[in-house]
Structure 1
Amino acid sequence: MKGKLILEDGSVFTGQLLNDSRATGEVVFNTSMTGYQESLTDPSYCRQILTLTYPMVGNYGIADIFMQSRKAFVGGFVIGELCELGSNWHYEESLAEFLTRQNIPCLYDVDTRAVTRKIRNAGTMKGIIVPADADQAEIDKLMAVPIKKEVVMEVTTKEAYTMEAENEDAPLVVAMDFGVKQNILTSLHNIGCKLQVVPADTKAEDILAMNPDGIFLSNGPGDPADVPEIVEEIKKMIGKKPIFGICLGHQLIARALGAKTYKLKFGHRGSNQPVKDLRTGKVQISSQNHGFAVEEESLKDLPLEVTHINVNDGTVEGMRHKELPLFSVQYHPEASPGPDDNLYLFDEFWTMLKGE
């Protein structure tokens, strides 16, 4: 079935529609060469229409071990060539079968690099996926659907759960799930932490009552300004326990300490983003997925120092409290997909938990 992606500025990109389905959402692009399943199941893409720049997608199929959450949260998927037969020893089903089972609208045979150039030049915008023969009334109705902002509670765990550690004396870390990726939890577990994963709306007093050795604030979707109630709970925990934040968690820490965040023109999404550690001068390649950033100017009068910057555009990629055991990064040190250059950050958190 022929279909099309229509952007809110009137731009139209044609292709083939996998199923007779529709999608509405913010159109974003990812520049990774691999990791399509990890991206599809990253909750940070909740309700967005994800476009991949790599021309062929699906060549190694789908396998359960690569799932980063309980389901795919993307609103739609736009790709170039859809490979129907995957070849990998982990292979369990084709990408097309997965997309159909997960009810994800997919438009393929699209010039995705043209879509990317449009977004890079004009900025991220709303778009819709519809059949090619959709009438104007349907198009207008879908385009009028507002983009949902309160998405954290849609992706968070519904109930708290525990990931036990091998050692009985393992440090306890309470992880606030704002849309956490599985490999973040795995990375924390691998360094020896016992994890208590809690819903995003868990109160500070309940977390502190668990007497954890540390608190982790996860990645997640949306604008950090849309969850002021979570920011207020984070404020109550700062200084009480060591805290480590990633992506949305990083932004929420900044807002809790009085800094500002802002929307990037087209965001950073891909596994090839260079980040410079200002403490060592080293540059690591990182995996990123975010549309907002911390405003560096707003940090000047706060007890925070910038520790990492994005080499491409100079935006803040990491910060540390000057006095308290608290640090955060904007990117994804756990990768999945992407390089593992930044796994050392989990070791830094471990050192902080041990008070060393």
Structure 2
Amino acid sequence: MKQERIAKIVLENGMEFTGKSFGYEQSVSGEVVFNTAMTGYPESLTDPSYKGQILVSTYPLIGNYGVPAPKKNEGLHTYYESDRIHVSALIISDYSFNYHHWNAAKSLQEWLIEHKIPGVYDVDTRALTQILREKGTMLGKILIEGDPDWYDPSGENLVKTVSVETPVTYGSGRTHIGLIDCGVKNNIIRQLLRLDTKVTRLPWDFDVSRESFDGIFLTNGPGDPKQCGATIDNLKKVLQKEIPVFGICLGSQLMALAAGADTYKLKYGHRSHNQPVQQKGSARCYITSQNHGYAVDPDSIPPEWDIYFENVNDGTVEGIIHKEKPFFSTQFHPEASGGPTDTQFLFENFINSIKSRCDG
């Protein structure tokens, strides 16, 4: 094995950490965020919502089960959430050079190098995470080869970079869903397809109000939702109709903005597999998978809308629902991948609302 190179992590507040390179050896800059999930690094690394971000894993041992081989079904990667790695870099405590899993085809190190993504291990991720919790997410650099300019992903429309450019259709079911792709995870499409649907994946700025669909789906995605002006304008027209609409994560924020509410950036976001949410007006609580840095301002929600779910830890809005029309959203991820599937029933609720409308 070749000699390991030292990698330096520099935060915008001037603090520095030192580790060892185990991925692609190049310097990068981005927003440093942390995730407290214990498993699911292939799913997390391929989640388009991480575009422009340097991901810190709080779980100490990463790489022990390797990475599965690329395999597709219905045109979608079976074990990945998109066609490529989207994080700018990965920071971990202990890297397992020896991996073992029945489905593993390569090591995490080989995968990172293949996709030209830097990886740094032997870092005090506990101390780094404590800083991010106290100070909030901040810009950072990983210095291995050269010194790049500081890069702030919130300053550009990241959704445009991860969305499809032309429509793509999956499945041939009875219910036709128009899916506005803001950086969709593959398992969202998988969950819809299992419910006898045909899903047409549309570019982020596609004017879906001009087309005829049985239901509209708003996906997750990276960055500041206010950068997606075209999507918000198109959604305003959709919300004037009666067609069922379901939004997840960024899709929830976009629905809120289109409805007249406001959004704001969280101090350090929610990125984990263990976020408890409570359905408003009930005693029902669910454990959810989450990955977002923005939230809906509860005081700005129009009177014709209700808060659907709330985060038990900090009280933030975890979904909104219209009082009369078939519109609802969740800030968390019912499709999981990775994480718990406690709220998978929301996909059935969406399809049932479509069927009720068609039967009526």
Structure 1 and Structure 2 fold alike (TM over 0.5) = yes
Most deviating of 193-202 and 94-103: 193-202
* 1:130 and 2:132 are equivalent in the alignment: no
Within 5 Å, which residues of 2 pair with 1:158-237? 158-165=165-172, 167=173, 170-205=174-209, 208-209=210-211, 211-237=212-238
- 1:270 corresponds, among 258, 269, 272, to 272
Alpha carbons 1:239, 1:325 under 8 Å: kept: no
Shift of 1:73: 1.1
Alpha carbons 1:41, 1:68 under 8 Å: kept: yes
Match of 2:230, SS state, is helix
CA deviations on 1:141-197 (whole Å, 9 max, x unpaired) are 523x443521101101122111113x5xx1100101000000011011112211111
Within 5 Å, which residues of 2 pair with 1:1-356? 1-18=5-22, 19-63=24-68, 64=70, 65-131=78-144, 139=147, 142-143=149-150, 145-147=151-153, 148-165=155-172, 167=173, 170-205=174-209, 208-209=210-211, 211-240=212-241, 241-299=243-301, 301-355=302-356
Unaligned runs of 5+ in 2: 71-77
Match of 2:318, SS state, is strand
Aligned equivalents of 2:236 and 2:30: distance in 1? 32
How many residues are aligned here? 342
Percent of pairs with identical residues: 44
Q: What is the one-letter code of the residue matched to 1:288? A: Q
Aligned equivalents of 1:146 and 1:271: distance in 2? 26
Shift of 1:279: 4.0
Match of 2:342, SS state, is coil
CA deviations on 1:299-325 (whole Å, 9 max, x unpaired) are 1x4311011100000000011001111
Q: What is the one-letter code of the residue matched to 2:207? A: K
Alpha carbons 2:139, 2:152 under 8 Å: kept: no
CA deviations on 1:98-149 (whole Å, 9 max, x unpaired) are 0000111111111111111000000010000002xx7xxx64x523x44352
Q: What is the one-letter code of the residue matched to 2:168? A: Y
Aligned equivalents of 1:279 and 1:60: distance in 2? 41
Match of 1:66, SS state, is coil
Alpha carbons 2:31, 2:152 under 8 Å: kept: no
Match of 1:263, SS state, is strand
Aligned equivalents of 1:33 and 1:316: distance in 2? 25
Match of 1:273, SS state, is strand
Alpha carbons 2:214, 2:244 under 8 Å: kept: yes
Shift of 1:326: 0.3
Aligned equivalents of 2:152 and 2:176: distance in 1? 41
Q: CA RMSD in A?
A: 1.3
Aligned equivalents of 1:344 and 1:49: distance in 2? 32
Unaligned runs of 5+ in 1: none
Q: What is the one-letter code of the residue matched to 2:7? A: G
TM-score by length of 2: 0.92
Q: What is the one-letter code of the residue matched to 1:79? A: I
CA distance 1:289–1:146, shift in 2 (3 Å): closer
Alpha carbons 2:66, 2:107 under 8 Å: kept: yes
Aligned equivalents of 1:285 and 1:20: distance in 2? 37
Aligned equivalents of 1:310 and 1:26: distance in 2? 24
Aligned equivalents of 1:280 and 1:87: distance in 2? 43
Most deviating of 214-223 and 59-68: 59-68
Aligned equivalents of 1:155 and 1:163: distance in 2? 18
Q: What is the one-letter code of the residue matched to 2:171? A: E
Alpha carbons 2:31, 2:138 under 8 Å: kept: yes
Match of 1:349, SS state, is helix
Aligned equivalents of 2:67 and 2:324: distance in 1? 45
